[in-house]
Structure 1
Amino acid sequence: MRVADVGEFGLIERVTSRLTYGPATLLGPGDDAAVIAAPDARVAASTDVLVEGRHFRRDWGSARDIGHRAAAANLADIAAMGGTPTALLVALCMPPELEQSWAEELADGLAAEAATVGASVVGGDMSSSPTLTIAVTALGDLGGRPPVTRSGARPGDVLALAGRTGYAAAGLTVLSRGFRTPRLLVEAYRRPEVPYAAGPQAAGLGATSMIDVSDGLVADLGHVARASGVAIDVRRDAFEVPPQMRDAAQALGADPYAWMLGGGEDHALAATFPPGVDLPPPWRPIGLVAAGSGVTVDGKPYTGSAGWDHFR
């Protein structure tokens, strides 16, 4: 069946019947608005949009995969502020001929990714559109701590990373060349493994700045450097290239470090910490903050692609 066959409200009923709700959800779908508990009296909020053909392709992943990716992009932003995600709001614009089951499986993926952090899909909107578009808003709780912003890095701080970079970019390259292996890389593109708990952990450790690596490590660290008025240097030897990535790079004529330094969508967290902080896993040092401006790699300007820019 197509979504046109069940209609807007029929599809809403089918989707919402598949959802479950965490403890922060005081009132879920069914009214004009959901009600979410905010014990901190502040709400962290972030929005991302995914457009078919620009951010995803249905032949490169299942609807459930795309749901995981859409949720992860927003949940990671909350974690990067040092917060714990509590809820997602989802707007879905779709062609009437889209299969009803595809929309239901998308909802399953969104809900499953949210559930990994105890959050819930609590509402949203649906509309007809010639282009399949998914817009997700995430809400989160700061737990009584100040938000960890991009503007607090100071000279002498240690740059650290939680999670992995380059895997999703390598998977995207593999898929764009018409291949489906190595599975490690393709699955990293389809469903990023985000270290959500590392965000609140970093806040508790006294992180001075933090960012979700969504567009590329060098590009996103550039945002931190500009906001903080500092220079950031990344050590290339801090990154271990897995055999699958090395083999794929050799087969495709690519540089694996270009994926690791300039590739996005793994949603690792990069943060700066005062010197002397004992960094527990999954955090690992990858560079230093100094006086100056911009981002360098091994003390030199980075000449590769720093990351994704939607309007270039």
Structure 2
Amino acid sequence: MRVRDMGEEALIAAFAEIYRSRAGVSVGIGDDGAIIESTSALEVISADMATDGIHFNRSWSSATDIGAKIAIANLGDIVAMGGVPKFLIVAISAPGDEEVSYLLDIARGIESVAKDFDVSVVGGDLVAGKTLTIAITALGSVNAPVLRSGAKVGDKIFITRATGRSLAGLLLLSKGLASSDSPDVRAFQRPEFDPHDLIEFGFEKINALMDVSDGLLSDLPKLAKASRVGIDLTIDEKDLSFLEPLSEKLAIPPLELFLRSGEEHSFIVVVDSKWQSGTPESWIMLGTVVTGDEITYFGKPLPFQGTSWHW
């Protein structure tokens, strides 16, 4: 069935059957607005938008994975502020000839992520448009925000999960070197997202924090600029051995995949050196915060420059 044949009211009702309200929702989908409970001193809000052909490709990813990936991007922004995600608002613009089943699968992908992290979709909007676009607003609770601007000289920089596989998946698909059902492209289709070790480590121990959405090559300078510092990378390339098979297929060095890869939604974590020994073993050491305003690699210019993440 097409969207124009079903109608807005019936489609909203179908969405409401997929989304489930969890703790903190007094009034969810079905009224003029949602009513939510708040027990924290501060709230954090973030929004993200994805458009067909620009931010996702239907031939590369399923509708469920597309929905899940957009939801992950929003939850990542909340966690990157030192917050705990609580609620999502989902707005969709779709052509009249769009298949209803496709939109419902996108909703199922969003709900699958929301359920995993005890988050509720509490409302949204549905409008007609020329191109399928999904816009999500995320809300969360935060006690003491962690900003990009808190890094200090001498601090140690970690990443919670190694990057590289998302870019590898994108390149394999775009070059026709892998099909959409290949395990090699899974990290691009639906990134791994598990901030529990970050939350358990404790936001109060973190001086600066940032979600990796545009790639380390792009995101590290943003953090450095906000904190008015430089960063010297001292990455142990043994930690990147998992990228070697993909590196061989693409003829791109593992370090380059690692630094350029975006839409990973792991986290850059900056901590005082006194907390270094207490960081989770799965985190990878990136380097040290230094004086100046440059990003260097073992004290020298980066081995490559240019843009990081792009379609």
TM category (shorter chain) comes to over 0.9
**Hey, what does 2:209 align to over in structure 1?**
210
TM-score, length basis structure 1: 0.93
CA contact (8 A) 1:86 1:139 kept: yes
Shift of 1:241: 3.1
Shift of 1:306: 4.7
Instruction: Flag as ranges the 4+ runs of structure 1 deviating above 6 A.
Output: none
Shift of 1:36: 2.0
User: Quick one: distance in 2 between partners of 1:306 and 1:225?
Assistant: 17
**Hey, what does 2:154 align to over in structure 1?**
156
TM-score, length basis structure 2: 0.93
**Hey, what does 2:182 align to over in structure 1?**
183
Shift of 1:101: 0.4
**Hey, what does 2:286 align to over in structure 1?**
286
- The aligned amino acid for 2:30 is G
Shift of 1:8: 1.2
Provide structure 2 residue ranges, at least 5 long, that are not aligned to the other structure: none
- The aligned amino acid for 1:240 is D
CA contact (8 A) 1:168 1:266 kept: yes
CA contact (8 A) 2:59 2:180 kept: no
> Is 1:232 the counterpart of 2:231 in the alignment?
yes
| Cα distance, 1:290–1:202 mapped onto 2, change above 3 Å | farther
Equivalent of residue 252 in structure 1, options 250, 253, 265:
250
Deviations, residues 142-199 of structure 1 (Å, cap 9, x unaligned): 1x3x100000000000101112311111111111112227934311111111132244
User: Quick one: distance in 1 between partners of 2:57 and 2:154?
Assistant: 43
CA contact (8 A) 1:82 1:202 kept: no
| Cα distance, 1:160–1:171 mapped onto 2, change above 3 Å | same
- The aligned amino acid for 2:220 is L
1:276 is paired with a residue whose SS is: helix
User: Quick one: distance in 2 between partners of 1:198 and 1:218?
Assistant: 24
CA contact (8 A) 2:166 2:185 kept: yes
User: Quick one: distance in 2 between partners of 1:220 and 1:42?
Assistant: 26
**Hey, what does 2:141 align to over in structure 1?**
141
User: Quick one: distance in 2 between partners of 1:115 and 1:4?
Assistant: 30
Which deviates more, 288-297 or 83-92? 288-297
Q: How many residues align?
A: 307
User: Quick one: distance in 2 between partners of 1:204 and 1:251?
Assistant: 39
Which deviates more, 76-85 or 31-40? 31-40
% of aligned pairs identical?
37
